Structure 1
Amino acid sequence: MRELLRELRRGAAADRAILLALCLTWAGYVALLAGKGINALAPQTYRLNFNLYLAALLVSLVLGMASVLARHRPASPIRFVAASFVSSGVSSQLVRGIPMLLALVIFLPVFGSMKSAIPLFSSYTWDDTWIALDRALHGTDPWRILQPVFGYPLVTSILAGFYHLWILLIYAGGVGFCFFVGDRQLRAQFFVAYFACWALLGNGLAITLASVGPCFVGPMLGDPRFDEQMAYLKAANAHYPVMTLAVQQQLIDWYTSGSGGLGRGISAMPSMHVSIAFLFFLAMRRISRIAGLLFGAFFVIIMIGSVHLAYHYAVDGYVSIAATWLIWLAAGAAARRIARADGAVELPVAPSGAGLARSAEASTAVPQRDS
């Protein structure tokens, strides 16, 4: 137990600069919201967020160990798994990541409360500007340019499915960088950029340049310019499920009823879907070429989907990409300072399946069946 407490302190010390900045930001948000009569400390949202991160962590561990067991088929699986955790240092590694996981748990709910409170800080007055800019850049509404290629019900349904898979970046991706990325500088750069994107783009720019987006200009602002696009999406939904339509309606209902909370805010500029997808592409290409290609493809799908599914104007995504790239560069400079302050020590990454197997075999002498 003492060893695990020591690892917990070590993890908190390694991430202290990021955690301190995040705590100050969180406290500022809570104070701002309190000034508008909003209680950002309601426990249910934090509990929900914690459960989602915990589920993502457990699924990651179960899948990892299942992969190891499938490849090595030990005679005593439980003993093999237990020995793997002890001898490979996975338990210590998991404890070191707890402070950053808790930071993720407390941050997103207060971010969600701030996003839901945009109308209290600003008015949705920028949609005309973004529509005009989109048309000036593309000659027409960008969704019309995409329509000949993506305007088929099955394709639209698939894009909507991928758009919903984006949530895995938040939970599975967050857990991955918390616990399983051993490059200390890359991990620090990712989290500095991650929190900065949410705060500066998702709150700062979203309030300053408040707009609702194509799917909401009709019901919220009485603007009919995207009725044709929405009519197509509803017609496509009659053939194949377009999952985003139900979410868009739920967001409108929450807005109408004044219900705030995690995932309930409406804001078009800038697109956080595009920003976070692009951030993961920038980070994952540093891990491997294949990861970079996969996350790059996912980012492109999200960018296209954000326009085709009527959530965003194209310029929402362009601004997100440029701003996220600048934040990533600044986060790199901050990460180098953090790494130097910590002696550039790398946190051990979770061993591969073969490494876990060798560690377990050495410590338990469990006989293995032939593969």
Structure 2
Amino acid sequence: SVAMVEGAMKEVSEEEMVAAIAFGHEAIKAQCQLQKDLAEAVGRTPESQPREYPKYEENETLKKLISEGVYQGAYDVARTGNTSKGGRKEGFSAVKKAFLDKLMAEQPELDTKLFSRYYSSAEKKAIRDMMVKERVRLDGRQLTEIRPIWSEINYLPGAHGSAIFTRGETQSLTTATLGTKLDEQIIDQPLAKGYSKFMLHYNFPGFSTGEVKPNRGAGRREIGHGNLALRSLRQVLPPDDENPYTIRIVSDILESNGSSSMATVCAGSLALMDAGVKITAAVAGIAMGLVQDKETGEYAVLSDILGDEDHLGDMDFKVTGTEKGICACQMDIKIQGLSNEILTAALHQAREGRLHILR
């Protein structure tokens, strides 16, 4: 099964994408087998030298008590379909506090850290079960439904090109600046040297998620998401002989509740067109999620996931592209692997969502 996918492509179809992943997967299997053979040759297999990890002290009685006490309450909050992230948080907090107060009255010596861990597990299971069984989302949407979209170009009249793109509670304010050849970025890496005429910077300030923290330069998130958006938009730029400009795109995330990198792709595409850059096609992006029941094998593929669905789900599969095909993708999963059936379903569902956004 597939564990991770990342790459860029020139507007390929979903069928070509699945075939390419399958081809690469076969090559990876040979490399994995070689590593296993080398480990066995030197006597360093997981069976001969198992790794020891620190384990929590479990209280099965308390775990069962908490699960039975809060599961239905959390399930009911999850199925209310509250579109507000804050509103859902208040609902779950109320369920947790009510049961904690009850337990504290009965067991004054209760370990509150252990309670929080067991409650989180019960809440997670209730939310996941609700989505698989009811086929609806935390905010009341259907599995394939996209959040409301609002966008506007020329939002900052002083910039060469600008756009604001809002999807649900996620918003990107993006600018496009055109420069001359003198503004090209110098690339001086161990394996690559030269110049780049296209740059994209993605900023994710703390206030976008309601946090207060200092901004101390780009972190792992900014670099990874910015690179994904850059790869996506690069596929539709005009050739160098038709584009004399050096282009810099800056995306500032003003609010985030899932898919902020995909909002950057959408806003970036609009900003480029607003700046007069003759891109070959408009680009949109969507983040797909997955919730799978290990016991029954049932699963639900989610379109345009929320931050909570990313946190509680099994997959974050970002797919960008034009009306013609896929331009870039990035997938990470939390389960053992992804079957070809689920991968194919996610890509075709992503196409439907992408076309909805483009239209």
With normalisation by structure 1, the TM-score equals 0.21
- The structure carrying a bigger helix percent of its residues is 1
Higher relative contact order (CA 8 A, sep 6+): 1
TM-score (norm 2): 0.21
Larger strand share, 1 or 2:
2
